[in-house]
Amino acid sequence: MALTSSEYIKHHLTNLTWGCDAGHCGFAASMEQAHAMGFWSVHVDSMLWAIICAMGLGWMLRSVAVKMQAGVPRGLQNLVEVLVEFVDSSVKESFQGRKASAMVAPMALTLLLWIFVMNFLDLVPVDILPMIFQSAGVEHMRVVPTTDPNITLGMATFVFLLIIGYSIRFKGIGGFVGELTLHPFNHPVFIPFNLLLEGVSLLAKPISLGMRLFGNMYAGELIFILICTMYPTNIGLGAFGGVLQWAWAVFHILIITLQAFIFMMLTIVYMSAAQEVHH
**Alpha-carbon span 88 to 104, nearest angstrom:** 9
Sheet strand arrangement including 42-43 = 24-27, 17-21, 42-43
pLDDT value of residue 150: 93
Phi, psi of 42 (to 5 degrees): -120, 130
pLDDT value of residue 235: 86
Instruction: Decide if 228 contacts 248 (C-beta within 8 A).
Output: no
Q: Is the pLDDT of residue 99 over 60?
A: no
pLDDT value of residue 73: 67
Assigned domain for 26 exists: no
Which whole number is the average pLDDT over 86-105? 75
CB atoms within 10 A of CB 228: 19
pLDDT band at 42 (very low <50, low <70, confident <90, very high): very high
pLDDT value of residue 22: 73
Assigned domain for 176 exists: yes
Domain residue limits at 145 = 44-275
Which tens digit of pLDDT belongs to each residue from 53-64?
Answer: 999 999 998 888
pLDDT value of residue 264: 94
* Strand residues in the chain grouped as ranges (E): 17-21, 24-27, 42-43
Output DSSP code: residue 189. G
Instruction: Decide if 201 contacts 183 (C-beta within 8 A).
Output: no
Assigned domain for 102 exists: yes
Assigned domain for 29 exists: no
In this structure, the chain runs to a length of 279
pLDDT value of residue 146: 95
Assigned domain for 85 exists: yes
Assigned domain for 6 exists: no
Assigned domain for 97 exists: yes
Assigned domain for 229 exists: yes
**Mean confidence (pLDDT) of the chain:** 87
pLDDT value of residue 58: 92
pLDDT value of residue 224: 92
Q: Is the pLDDT of residue 119 over 80?
A: yes
Active site amino acids:
208, 212, 216
Q: Is the pLDDT of residue 91 over 90?
A: no
- In this predicted model, which residue has the larger pLDDT, 8 or 256? 256
**How many domains, in total, are found in the chain?**
1
Strands 42-43, 24-27: parallel, antiparallel or unpaired by DSSP? Answer: unpaired
pLDDT value of residue 218: 95
pLDDT value of residue 117: 96
